[in-house]
Structure 1
Amino acid sequence: MKTTTIVGLAAIGALALSACSSGGGGAAGGSGEPVIDGTLKFAINEDPGSLFRPANSSATLSYVYPWAYESPVYFNPEGEPQGWLAESWEDTPTSVTFTIRDDATCSDGTKLTAETVANNYRWIADPANGSSFLGLVVPADAQVENDERSVTLTTATPNSFLLTALGTHPIYCQAALDDPDSTVSATNGTGLFQLAEAVPGDHYTFERRDDYTWGPEGAPTGATPGVPKEVVISVIENASTRANLLLSGELNLSTVAGPDEDRVASALEPYTQIMGITGGFVYSQAEGQPTADKNVRIALTKALDLDALMKVNTAGRGERATRLAVTPPQVCQYDAATPNLPKTDIAGAEKLLDEAGWVKGADGIRAKDGEKLELDFAWQTRWAENAATAELAADQWAEIGVGVNHLGTDYGAFMERVGKEGSASELDVIWIAPNYPVPSVLSSFFSGPAPTGGNNFGAVSNPEFDRLVAETTGSTGAEACAGWEAAEAEMFASADYVSFAMRPDVTYGRGVKAVIQPSGMDTYVTGVTLVNE
């Protein structure tokens, strides 16, 4: 059993944010004196939807909820757990116990208790609530108990990363759990800020909690000079507009991607870069699908120039994906994908397809038993680069006599198509690029039940992968990484999943200085201060 107690400075990513001026970026020069009761201005690219995180897995919400909510632990940039709402913890492959601090207060004035923390996990674990975090954060077979100060979650199935999944999930106060609708457009947490105004689709204004004193050692309180009085998060869909506002000094923080990123990057320094997989696809292994044949999957992958696909998908700003879990906190760091995915080999691809009975016809398209090898390729149009990448992949498959039927749709329609029962029997290739800090969560997309009983969209079945995963679940945290590397190597070598691109999601700042190096989205929230530039 591993026991950890918090020590030293809390690396929650405290900011020193310079007051914006009309000239120049960065934090150089100026008096550095704190701005008393200033306003921090932050922009996001789309509305986050409901602010009740247990029922909303939107990535955009990850930029909003951390202003008001805290978690039992956080991870520093080295991937080491640090205490937050938990004073200490013990973890094994089948259990986690948190000892909850007794001085944290909710924004509604009630005291945070261990029972409330436990109830957060119970809410997710209740199938009647339909939380998308059941099976991802809270295992389906989890049992949750608490006493006056501690919370214990146990599971029959070993899990190497229980601490990471459970410990970093935001904790909502009891009234929010009793009535989730009460925090759809409001907040009720223990964080340094609370929501004062919500205008969905336009802006969310947070106010400082002057009574906040329970941050980890070294973190600012509500009375620390320079902590903003307000944080205004604006919804600005147009990237050019966000870029202009950053460059003119009307915003402090924002993400900017696409063509506008070059001009922002040439003038401003990144505040934080959060890596994520952007390009990848799974081949259907449903019975009767041509891609259920391992050699067909390998052949299709050999036909691709994955480096070229990566450059198109990331607009030249990314790199090849290295493993399943690339987002912070980086508990595991290894490259299982690049050395194991089948290498480009057109002649080898054609030989494998010939041997599998898929022979080119007069029209140049391969066929077997009267059935043409035409791939139904489902991808989503949320980013313009996806369409260009899908077209390039189709061109490369065409060189070996494989046709493609493009099924590109918006995100909502895409999820409806791939998430329905039997979807793997209708689709051959599915664009999927899920991101989460630990591989045990992501493996549910490539093993286990298919929709609607699970997230295995391609009905992938690899017994050797499953065996290797089972062998490594007896270890926790970094100790499990070697086992996961071996399991992923098997998955990539079998072309079960082809992840080919990752790129940083960059938040640019004007006059922003990190007091402690940020390691994730919540790390530029607690500890924000404003200083004169």
Structure 2
Amino acid sequence: MKRTAAPIALSLAAAALVGCGATGGGSGDGGGGDADGGVVDGGTFTMAMNADPGNLDPQSSVSSALFSISQLPYDRLLNVDFDSGEVVSGLASEWAVDGTTISLTLAEGITCSDGAELTASDVAANLDHVADPKSKSPFLGTFLPVGAKTTADDAARTVTVELAEPAPFALQGLANVPIICAAGLEDRASLAEQSLGTGPYELTEAAPGDSYTYTIRDGYTWGPGGAATDTEGLPDTIVVKVVQNESTAANLLLSGQLNGAIVNGPDTKRLEAAGLTTYDTAAISGEQFYNQAEGRATSDPEVRLALTQALDLEELQGVLTSGAGSPATTLAALDPVACPGDSVSAALPAQDVDAATAALADADVPGLTFLFDPSSGSGVGAAAELAVQQWKAAGVTVTPKPQSGSAIQQTVFGTGDWDIAWLPLNVSSPDQLVPFLSGPGVAEGGTNFAAIDNPDYVAGVEEASAMVGQEGCDTWLEAESFLVAEADVVPFANTVGKTWQQGAEFEYPGQMVPTSIRMLAK
């Protein structure tokens, strides 16, 4: 089976800090191949996720939990092949790029879960919704360039996207936009209780905070690489359970009550001893932001630099990743990485506690608030406690505020009442980060939640955006370095996360690939 992945997910909700939103290769016997015992049709596959997705409208949020669960009932226009990084078919069987014009032709016979045929006009309506600033979709500027205009020809099954300016990774962006069918577009409130998409499974029961149940769709033949639901070994039912505690997830795996779960802390030793296999994923797990909104102490660049210099980032990396991580090297770190390289190491401010102490004393910094998600991994809480101690040693009182992923998202995009946040953004191409690192802030209706204003980064983005694909990678990486050097973004840890498998094999490149699941004979 060809492995495919949509190269995202922005872990803005910090839901599944490690694993969700990443892509990587399987280890052990994992990854979708047949086991010695063979595969069996039907049955129920149960997967754990460590945060509730909230609003199930797949275009309403960029949280990892929602993005992952949306793979079950919703398809994308295109996919990205994990091994090669090339764009491959999705709902579109043909596509072409000519300057600022993207042309796509839908495959024949695509139907929605309510039985309706998916039309080119339906696809255009999806993209129009994202493109409309009034929709306030976080996908705008991230996966669909600002100013894009879409037209459709239902008879020819073609969709044409006219871009306002060149976008080097526009196809990769489209590979992240879930397509909703006409009935869902007309009544988005209904998406909280049902799914209206073209995907291989449809939502049949929703118990927010507990579980979500999906049932297989007969006649599905247009999945990644031509995947179909009549493939031997696919489950009839998929249950996604909300399990916030890693130890609980590990216990459920060992007892056979779960077929899959992301576990990265000390419980991995028990799972390894039991002979369970994994699908490995890579992601930025440690990334620090400062609230630069007017009136916040952290709007002062000298304060941000001092707070960064007060930290031993290497020690924090080791604690946060339980010794299993590595230094961050780029801001867009997910495989297939569009621009490999190192924009971080040389630019990252070095620890200098004396300089930090002096600068913070001169600035008379008041007490600061610090957001992090303790459910994102067993080492996160300990690392957060260590960071607070290191800031205290530099003379600043920082109050930790552990919050769930959804609560953090509400804070940074809602109340704005925060100073420091650990909030890893996980994407594969650097253009996907631009609206989160520049442009309008939340108060102006944008997604630049930290209110970053770095002219050198903006100039670098403008130059890189005029280049085609990887031709601009050196310029993209240089632009990222400007952010790191000014402590606008402080990436300090990468982690290889493990999605554990019990009684089934599947691919999990940052999100479930439902057509890859194979239930194993006991």
TM-score, scaled relative to structure 2:
0.84
Q: Determine the C-alpha separation between the residues in 2 that align with 1:418 and 1:138.
A: 22
Matches within 5 A, 1:199-348: 199-217=207-225, 219=227, 221-285=228-292, 294=301, 296-346=303-353
SS, match of residue 324 in structure 1: coil
For residue 413 of structure 1, report the CA deviation from its aligned partner: 5.3
SS, match of residue 96 in structure 1: strand
Query: What is the RMSD of the two structures over their aligned residues, measured on CA atoms?
Result: 3.0
Counterpart contact for 1:93–1:475, Cα < 8 Å: no
Residues 86/45 of structure 1: CA separation in 2 closer, same or farther (3 Å cut): same
Which whole-Å deviations, capped at 9, do the CAs of 1:365-395 have from their partners, x for residues lacking one? x533xx5234524313443644433332233
Which whole-Å deviations, capped at 9, do the CAs of 1:456-483 have from their partners, x for residues lacking one? 3333222111111110101233333222
Give the corresponding residue for 1:160: 168
Q: Determine the C-alpha separation between the residues in 2 that align with 1:47 and 1:313.
A: 23
Counterpart contact for 1:42–1:233, Cα < 8 Å: yes
Q: Determine the C-alpha separation between the residues in 1 that align with 2:136 and 2:285.
A: 27
Give the corresponding residue for 2:390: 396
Residues 93/475 of structure 1: CA separation in 2 closer, same or farther (3 Å cut): farther
Give the corresponding residue for 1:525: 514
Counterpart contact for 2:287–2:489, Cα < 8 Å: yes
Give the corresponding residue for 1:376: 368
The alignment status of 1:112 with 2:118, answered yes or no, reads yes
Find the partner of 2:498 among 495, 506, 520: 506
SS, match of residue 66 in structure 1: coil
Which whole-Å deviations, capped at 9, do the CAs of 1:335-365 have from their partners, x for residues lacking one? 2112221223445x35xx75xxx4xxxxxxx
Residues 410/108 of structure 1: CA separation in 2 closer, same or farther (3 Å cut): same
The alignment status of 1:70 with 2:75, answered yes or no, reads yes
Give the corresponding residue for 1:22: none
For residue 484 of structure 1, report the CA deviation from its aligned partner: 0.9
Which whole-Å deviations, capped at 9, do the CAs of 1:260-300 have from their partners, x for residues lacking one? 23322443455323333232223455567665555554444
Counterpart contact for 1:379–1:431, Cα < 8 Å: yes
Q: Return the letter of the residue paired with 2:89.
A: G
For residue 317 of structure 1, report the CA deviation from its aligned partner: 2.8
Find the partner of 2:441 among 422, 425, 450: 450
Residues 171/303 of structure 1: CA separation in 2 closer, same or farther (3 Å cut): same
For residue 38 of structure 1, report the CA deviation from its aligned partner: 2.8
Which whole-Å deviations, capped at 9, do the CAs of 1:232-254 have from their partners, x for residues lacking one? 22333443332122112332212
TM-score, scaled relative to structure 1:
0.82
Q: Determine the C-alpha separation between the residues in 2 that align with 1:52 and 1:256.
A: 27
Give the corresponding residue for 1:436: 427
SS, match of residue 338 in structure 2: coil
Q: Determine the C-alpha separation between the residues in 1 that align with 2:450 and 2:238.
A: 42
SS, match of residue 67 in structure 1: coil
Q: Determine the C-alpha separation between the residues in 1 that align with 2:414 and 2:210.
A: 33
Q: Determine the C-alpha separation between the residues in 1 that align with 2:277 and 2:342.
A: 25
Give the corresponding residue for 1:16: none
Residues 285/102 of structure 1: CA separation in 2 closer, same or farther (3 Å cut): same
Q: Return the letter of the residue paired with 1:58.
A: S
Q: Determine the C-alpha separation between the residues in 1 that align with 2:101 and 2:277.
A: 38
Q: Determine the C-alpha separation between the residues in 2 that align with 1:26 and 1:163.
A: 32
Counterpart contact for 1:377–1:428, Cα < 8 Å: yes
Counterpart contact for 1:328–1:520, Cα < 8 Å: no
Residues 381/107 of structure 1: CA separation in 2 closer, same or farther (3 Å cut): closer
Q: Determine the C-alpha separation between the residues in 1 that align with 2:515 and 2:160.
A: 26
For residue 29 of structure 1, report the CA deviation from its aligned partner: 10
The alignment status of 1:99 with 2:93, answered yes or no, reads no
Q: Return the letter of the residue paired with 2:455.
A: P
Q: Determine the C-alpha separation between the residues in 2 that align with 1:508 and 1:402.
A: 43
Q: Return the letter of the residue paired with 2:401.
A: G
Counterpart contact for 2:372–2:384, Cα < 8 Å: no
For residue 71 of structure 1, report the CA deviation from its aligned partner: 0.9
Q: Determine the C-alpha separation between the residues in 2 that align with 1:279 and 1:334.
A: 18
The alignment status of 1:484 with 2:476, answered yes or no, reads yes
Find the partner of 2:62 among 52, 57, 63: 57
Q: Determine the C-alpha separation between the residues in 2 that align with 1:109 and 1:290.
A: 55
Give the corresponding residue for 2:46: 41
Give the corresponding residue for 1:362: none
Give the corresponding residue for 1:464: 456
Q: Return the letter of the residue paired with 1:272.
A: Y
Q: Determine the C-alpha separation between the residues in 1 that align with 2:372 and 2:278.
A: 29
Q: Return the letter of the residue paired with 1:280.
A: E
For residue 172 of structure 1, report the CA deviation from its aligned partner: 1.4
Residues 172/498 of structure 1: CA separation in 2 closer, same or farther (3 Å cut): same
Residues 67/155 of structure 1: CA separation in 2 closer, same or farther (3 Å cut): same
Q: Return the letter of the residue paired with 1:391.
A: E
Counterpart contact for 2:200–2:216, Cα < 8 Å: yes
Counterpart contact for 1:124–1:134, Cα < 8 Å: yes
Counterpart contact for 1:329–1:520, Cα < 8 Å: no
Counterpart contact for 1:258–1:315, Cα < 8 Å: yes
Residues 108/311 of structure 1: CA separation in 2 closer, same or farther (3 Å cut): same
For residue 67 of structure 1, report the CA deviation from its aligned partner: 1.6
Which whole-Å deviations, capped at 9, do the CAs of 1:165-190 have from their partners, x for residues lacking one? 22232111111111112221212222
Counterpart contact for 1:340–1:492, Cα < 8 Å: yes
Matches within 5 A, 1:165-204: 165-204=173-212
Deviates more, 1:262-271 or 1:471-480: 262-271
Q: Return the letter of the residue paired with 1:281.
A: Q
Q: Determine the C-alpha separation between the residues in 1 that align with 2:284 and 2:390.
A: 22
For residue 114 of structure 1, report the CA deviation from its aligned partner: 1.4
Equivalenced residue count is 491
Which whole-Å deviations, capped at 9, do the CAs of 1:434-461 have from their partners, x for residues lacking one? 2233222223232222222223333322
Q: Determine the C-alpha separation between the residues in 2 that align with 1:249 and 1:390.
A: 33
Which whole-Å deviations, capped at 9, do the CAs of 1:145-175 have from their partners, x for residues lacking one? 1223221222324432221122232111111
Counterpart contact for 2:374–2:381, Cα < 8 Å: no
Percent sequence identity over matched residues?
36
Q: Determine the C-alpha separation between the residues in 2 that align with 1:242 and 1:218.
A: 33
Give the corresponding residue for 1:405: 398
5+ residue gaps, structure 1, are: 1-8, 14-24, 359-365
Residues 270/289 of structure 1: CA separation in 2 closer, same or farther (3 Å cut): same
Q: Determine the C-alpha separation between the residues in 2 that align with 1:498 and 1:475.
A: 27
